[in-house]
Amino acid sequence: MKTDEVVAVSAVVNSEDKDTKVVSDLAKSSVETKPEVVAPVVVEATNNRVGIVNPKKVNPPIVVETPKTVIPTKIESNPVKLEMITGVLEIMQDGQGFVRPKFNPGYKDAVIGSMQVRKYGLRVGDMVTGVAKAPKDGEKYWGLVRIDKINGLELAAAQNRVEFKDLVPIYPIKKVSLEFDKSVASTRIIDIFCPIGFGQRGMIVSPPKAGKTTLLKEIAAGVAANYPEIHLMAVLVGERPEEVTDMQRFIKGEVIASHFDQKPEEQTRAAEIAIERAKRLVEMGKDVFMVFDSITRLARAYNLAIPTSGRTLSGGFDPAALYPSKKFFGAARKIENGGSLTIIGTALVDTGSKMDELIFEEFKGTGNMELRLERKLAERRIFPSFDILKSGTRKEELLLPAETLSRVMAMRRMFDNLEEKDQMTELIIDQMNKTDNNEDFLKKVGKR
């Protein structure tokens, strides 16, 4: 093939497709280096197969298409979702903690690292406010990225707190007045015959169906009505779900509850978080009032939750289960020159269970106020079913004025001479219904 023929072939290809590239380097090189032109070997691609074409047969050379440039699309990452969060801190055994907005574990719980816990001196029960980021793919919990406040205080102020165990406990010296409605006889009777002070450790001893839950609600209502500045808490352990709902709707304060169908570990965890929360508030000098139902169920839960000690008391009760229960109840105290933690808890008796009787006997001398409910009055539907003669408060002279105390003592001696002791409660309820308040009641009694 001559040089003119090669040029002609290239011209034909260019005219057919201007956007294609002609592979004819081999032909050009042969023209430049050899005087005799030999037909180029053209590589042909047919049906994805590559072959050698007969050199005598000139076919159109292979066309190599320029690959299209693929511009990668910029993938915008989802922005990190941040939210303000406020919750109670629970610290685990490995040192990290969880900020729980609803006390019990939930999907909005935020993880806080052990480094932050140590840096800011955080304690179990602290109310932590900060910023949390939403979990990414593969993550389970929110993460706390910033801490703004601890128990409503700035970070610097919160780190200078004293520890609860270092506070000095004293006898209650200031009375908590529960009277708020003349038609509610229970709180009026308590104010006179079984007064409650700031820092009282009181026990309501009740048989089944004697109205202890209603009594707790009335006590809480009196505190909320007369002392809105007091931090009110209701702690329910192993309670019926409907009772929990009713208490949450009634109480004007924090309600920490566990149901009877939950594991014993979950029941004890709720109680521990609640008491630690109360301690943190007392460390800040605040007054906390807690109604607690019940001591018996808490001790039963610890009996199942803790590892066995190898010793067993009457009714199959492990004595090691008493210590955490007593630690809970023993936290109630009045702090010298500080706040107070008042706990009014219930204890079950006459249930037919030896374990319940044992628990009551172990806690019998731990409180400084005891209010007994009477089964006979409850069966006759007389409420409040108080056994006034067996109820009382230690060091009541610190809470009641001297004149009121003398009249109370006179009434106790007078009613002690009655043949039917239950008549005392009926007479007092009847006289209270005829007066507008306790002051009028005491004046009326003093004239007799």
List the binding residues for ATP: 197-202, 209-214, 240
Distance CA 280, CA 445 (A): 44
Helix or strand holding residue 335 (H, E): strand 333-335
Q: Look at strands 369-372 and 142-150 and give their pairing.
A: unpaired
Q: Classify the phi-psi angles of 337: left when phi > 0, otherwise alpha if psi is within -120 to 50, otherwise beta.
A: left
Whose tokens are 């030999």? That residue is: 38
Whose tokens are 């400084």? That residue is: 368
* 291 contacts: CB under 8 Å, gap ≥ 6: 216, 219, 220, 233, 234, 235, 344, 345
Structure tokens at 29: 């090189």
Q: How many CB atoms lie within 10 A of CB 399?
A: 22
Distance CA 41, CA 59 (A): 10
Q: How many CB atoms lie within 10 A of CB 110?
A: 25
Cβ atoms 254, 197 nearer than 8 A: no
Distance CA 315, CA 292 (A): 24
Binding residues: 197-202, 209-214, 240
